[in-house]
Amino acid sequence: MQIPPATIRFSPTLKWVAVVLVCVGVYVLYAAVHDVALVFFGAVVVAYIFYPVISWITPYTRGSRMLATTVFHIVVAIMLVVAVSWLWPPISTQYALLRQDMPRILTQIQADPVTVAGMTVDVSGELQKLLSNVIASLPTRVPKLLVGLIEGFLHLLAFVITSFYLLSNGRRIMSQLFQLVPLTHRAEVRFVVLQIHQILSGYIRGTLLLIPIMAVLTSVSLWLLGVEYALLIGIISGVVEILPIIGPWSAAGFAIIMAVFQQPLPISDSVVVVVSVIGALYFSLRMFEDYVIIPAVVGPAVHLHPILVIAAILAGAAVGGILGLFLAIPVTSVLQYMLRWLYHKLADSDDLPAMPHQ
């Protein structure tokens, strides 16, 4: 079949109208299938993170990215099994001890009411009321829980399949996207995409390195101070590093609570001393992270004003929950660069904004 010549031409106004309509349609679709969209978006993020690994494996699989992706998934599965088998015994032991210790902690809370601003709060009564409400709502929650488990399994399956496809065909997809760009603008678009890649790769690399580093440092420090469940608290502290600002200080609060209700108290017999020492420990680790680790592994690519960071975190949490918190900083950094690029366009500058070299 012979392809006829194109006869329909859009005016500049109609082109902008079409772009706006597409953007509105995408937003409406996202709002309608918010949870599903987050699954696929998470698959894109994971594929982006591990894309360099697949590129490194591909030469050893005779150039087959499909085989390289399969090998990668097998290796990751084996590593997870080994890690779980190695870490699970001490973690499960500490978790079991924590469960055994919970009645004593609850008894201590009941015996020592909390006083805030001169007002005594009946913590035990509030806990009993909360448990009663949870138990009363179980009959209605069980069916929803079963549906949620099925839905979660389907989301996980879609996540794995999508990330597998993106890892094995990512280069082809990017090549096809670049073909949509007019040839005269392709070099500039490639440069802008490279700058965005520098921002995202710097942040992701830094975050992935921060998790094990802070988990080890926190676990060892708490163990040296004699805090029980140091390994469990340290792992939690490392994982919540993916949540900017909120995560580290939430981990500090959790560690302080666990230490205060420990019998006997670690470090000192004074609760004030225990709180001060653990608070100072987390503050020191935070300063070490901000001024030593982050500059070394992230570099200047992701640099935002503190006020902008707070605004980004609040907006990310409102839009995407936990995933939004994790992506708030890199997405805001990308938007900041794109605004710089837009400024150069509006000012008719011949130069392109570039990120500092790491």
Based on C-alpha coordinates, what's the Rg of the chain? 26
Which sequence spans correspond to the domains of the chain?
33-93+116-180, 186-358
At 49-85, the pLDDT tens digits run: 888 888 888 888 888 888 888 888 888 888 888 877 7
Backbone angles phi, psi at 202, to 5 degrees: -65, -45
> Long-range CB contacts (< 8 A, 24+ apart) of 186-191?
188/352, 191/352
Look at residue 116 and give its three-state secondary structure: strand
Higher pLDDT, 3 or 199: 199
Single-letter amino acid code for the residue at 216: V
Provide the β-strand partners of residue 69: none
DSSP, residue by residue, 264-300: SPSS-S-HHHHHHHHHHHHHHHHHHIIIIIHHHHTGG
Exposed, middle or buried, 48 (CB in 10 Å: 0-12/13-18/19+)? middle
**Angstrom distance (rounded) from CA 210 to CA 296:** 11
At 6-55, the pLDDT tens digits run: 677 778 888 888 888 988 888 887 777 767 777 887 788 788 888 888 88
At 290-343, the pLDDT tens digits run: 777 766 665 555 666 667 777 777 787 777 676 677 778 888 888 888 888 888
pTM over cut 0.85: no
Contact 219, 94 (CB under 8 A): no
Higher pLDDT, 164 or 201: 164
